[in-house]
A = this chain, B = another copy of it.
């Protein structure tokens, strides 16, 4: 498989921009729904996006699917858009935030069960030795996830995550993790909702984890968060009050093929638009794009080492432990009409906290 340079990505985008500009030219200007949306937002939509193929693809998609006169019109009830989270809505590098949460929580788990202090993998996590932690095998990592994400009531879990979000800071920007969301993507979420789309997060991360902040951070309510989910069990406390306990029983692994499977389970409709950034999103993008009528599939390319990170084989850079943008994914995107979002070229601003 040949390696692609960033200049080729740009060339492709320029071609796409030409195409979408042609499409735009044959559409009536100032459609009511579109104008209303702009007005409702109180400013130009997608303000943090530079003009280009990616921005035009979003604007055109909304225009043709919300104009009642368009042959591609989609009824409001069917307007479903799904977004991966890690690497698509917020930073995933160098480690998924939820994994950081689990490592941080090990201290509390060991405090409650001191006998774990000398048991692996807890011993290594407590040591704080980053290199040793990074080398923990998958089985050990799973033990950490199970110990920190299950075994408590759903209410206690929510309280624990809230407390962590309030106090934890990422090492690079020294900010709460929820500050590391991409402003241009928040604008897409808002823009789609303003135009009648129901926005869902479809994440490989924990469903209950993302639900704690999904509404506040993304405007996505708990019932619109689909994620990797463990089962719960119903029981009663000493006073006979019912509560749910998070069990170490995997119900849905919401990655790869698990994404369309999870979408069917939780939503029951094929999305009209889907956004991802890695091979974990491949099947969701395929499934979305395979529907009839107009469908939008977009992938975020992490090509901005200065403002965020640059990684992935598609850029000729080494693979990472997190979401991967491979050559194969790049080829599929090209052949199936998925639109690539270049963080470097398409976004004039990445985070809301940037001036």
Determine if A266 and B223 form an interchain contact, defined as CB atoms under 8 angstroms apart: yes
Q: Does A306 contact B (CB under 8 A)?
A: no
- Among A241, A266, A267, A287, the most chain B Cβ lie within 10 Å of the Cβ of A266
Does A55 count as interface, using CB distance less than 8 angstroms? no
Cβ 8 A contact of A261, one of B198, B222, B231: B231
CA distance A106 to B266 in the complex (A): 28
In the complex, per-residue mask of A90-126: 1 if CB is within 8 Å of any chain B CB, else 0: 0000000000000000000000000000000000000
- A137 at the B interface (CB under 8 A): no
Query: Is the Cβ of B260 less than 8 Å from the Cβ of A234?
Result: yes
Nearest B residue (CB) for A200: B223
Determine if A215 is an interface residue (Cβ-Cβ < 8 Å). Answer: yes
The closest CB in chain B to the CB of A287 belongs to B242
For residue A265, which residues in chain B have a CB less than 8 angstroms away from its CB? 207, 229, 231-232, 251
Give the Cβ gap from A263 to chain B, nearest Cβ, in Å.
9
**Quick one: which of A263-290 are within 8 Å of B by CB?**
264-269, 283, 286-287, 290
Interface centre among A207, A225, A268, A290 (most CB of B within 10 A): A268
Query: Taking the nearest CB of chain B, how far is it from the CB of A244, in angstroms?
Result: 5
From B80, B222, B229, give the contact of A267 (CB < 8 A). B222
Assign chain A's interface to a size class. Answer: 35 or more
Contact B252 A286 (CB under 8 A): no
Which residue on chain B has the smallest CB distance to residue A230? B265
Taken together as a complex, chains A and B put the C-alpha atoms of A232 and B258 apart, in Å, by: 9
Using an 8 Å CB-CB cutoff, how does the interface string of A215-251 with B read, 1 for contact, 0 for none? 1000001110100010111100000011010000001
Q: Which residue of B lies closest to A269 (CB)?
A: B222
Contact with B along A197-216 (1 / 0, CB 8 A): 01000000001100100010
8 Å CB contact of A257 from B154, B229, B234, B251? B234
The answer to whether A234 touches B266, judged by C-beta atoms less than 8 angstroms apart, is: no
Given the complex, which residues of B lie within 8 Å of A198, measured CB to CB?
A: 223
Residues of chain B lying within 8 A (CB to CB) of residue A260: 234, 242, 244
A contact residues vs B (CB 8 Å cutoff): 77, 80, 154, 198, 207-208, 211, 215, 221-223, 225, 229, 231-234, 241-242, 244, 251-252, 257, 260-261, 264-269, 283, 286-287, 290
8 residue pairs, one from A and one from B, having the closest CB atoms: A222-B268, A234-B257, A223-B267, A232-B261, A211-B268, A242-B286, A242-B287, A234-B260
